[in-house]
Structure 1
Amino acid sequence: MELKRFLDRKVAEFNRPSFILEDPVSIPHQFTLKQDQEIAGFFAAIFAWGNRSVIIKKATELMQRMDNAPYQFCLEHTDSDLKKLLNFKHRTFNDTDLLYFIVFLHEHYRRFDSLEDAFLMELPKDEPFSMKTSLVHFYHYFFSLPDLPYRTRKHIATPEKNATCKRLNMFLRWMVRRDNQGVDLGLWKNIRMADLICPIDLHVAKVARRLTLLDRSQTDWRAAQQLTDRLKELDPGDPAKYDFALFGLGVVEKYY
Structure 2
Amino acid sequence: MKKEALKEFLDEKVVLYNNPKFIESDPIQIPHQFSLKEDIEIAAFLTSIISWGNRTMIIRNASKMMNLLDDSPYDFILNHQEKDLENLQSFVHRTFNHIDLQCFIKSLQHIYKNYGGLEESLLIKDKSKTYQTSINNFKKVFFEVEHQQRTQKHISDPLKNSAAKRINMFLRWMVRNDKKGVDFGLWTKHSPANLSCPLDVHSGNVARKLKLLLRKQNDWKAVAELDNSLRQLDKNDPVKYDFALFGLGVFEKF
Q: TM-score scaled to structure 1, two decimals? A: 0.95
CA distance in 1, matches of 2:250, 2:163: 18
* Mapped pair 1:213 → 2:216: no
Q: Which amino acid aligns with 1:198?
A: C
* Mapped pair 1:17 → 2:20: yes
Q: Give ranges in structure 1 of 5+ residues lacking alignment.
A: none
Q: Which amino acid aligns with 1:209?
A: R
What does 1:32-181 correspond to in 2, within 5 Å? 32-120=35-123, 123-124=125-126, 127-145=127-145, 147-181=146-180
Q: Which amino acid aligns with 1:132?
A: Q
CA distance in 2, matches of 1:188, 1:114: 11
Q: Which amino acid aligns with 1:183?
A: V
CA distance in 1, matches of 2:114, 2:135: 20
* Deviation (angstroms), 1:113: 4.3
CA distance in 1, matches of 2:75, 2:129: 31
* Deviation (angstroms), 1:195: 0.2
Runs of 4 or more, structure 1, over 2 Å off, are 111-114, 127-130
Asked if the contact 2:111–2:142 (Cα under 8 Å) also holds between the matched residues in 1, the reply is no
CA distance in 2, matches of 1:150, 1:113: 25
**Local SS of the residue matching 1:20:** helix
What does 1:239-250 correspond to in 2, within 5 Å? 239-250=238-249
Q: Could you tell which deviates more after superposition, 24-33 or 132-141?
A: 132-141
Q: Which amino acid aligns with 1:133?
A: T
* Deviation (angstroms), 1:79: 2.4
Q: Which amino acid aligns with 1:175?
A: M
Q: Which amino acid aligns with 1:138?
A: F
Asked if the contact 2:130–2:195 (Cα under 8 Å) also holds between the matched residues in 1, the reply is no
| CA RMSD, Structure 1 to Structure 2 (Å) | 1.2
CA distance in 2, matches of 1:202, 1:129: 24
Q: Which amino acid aligns with 1:232?
A: R
* Mapped pair 1:229 → 2:225: no
**Local SS of the residue matching 2:87:** helix
* Deviation (angstroms), 1:188: 0.1
Aligned length: 251
* Deviation (angstroms), 1:129: 4.8
Q: Give ranges in structure 2 of 5+ residues lacking alignment.
A: none
CA distance in 2, matches of 1:41, 1:169: 12
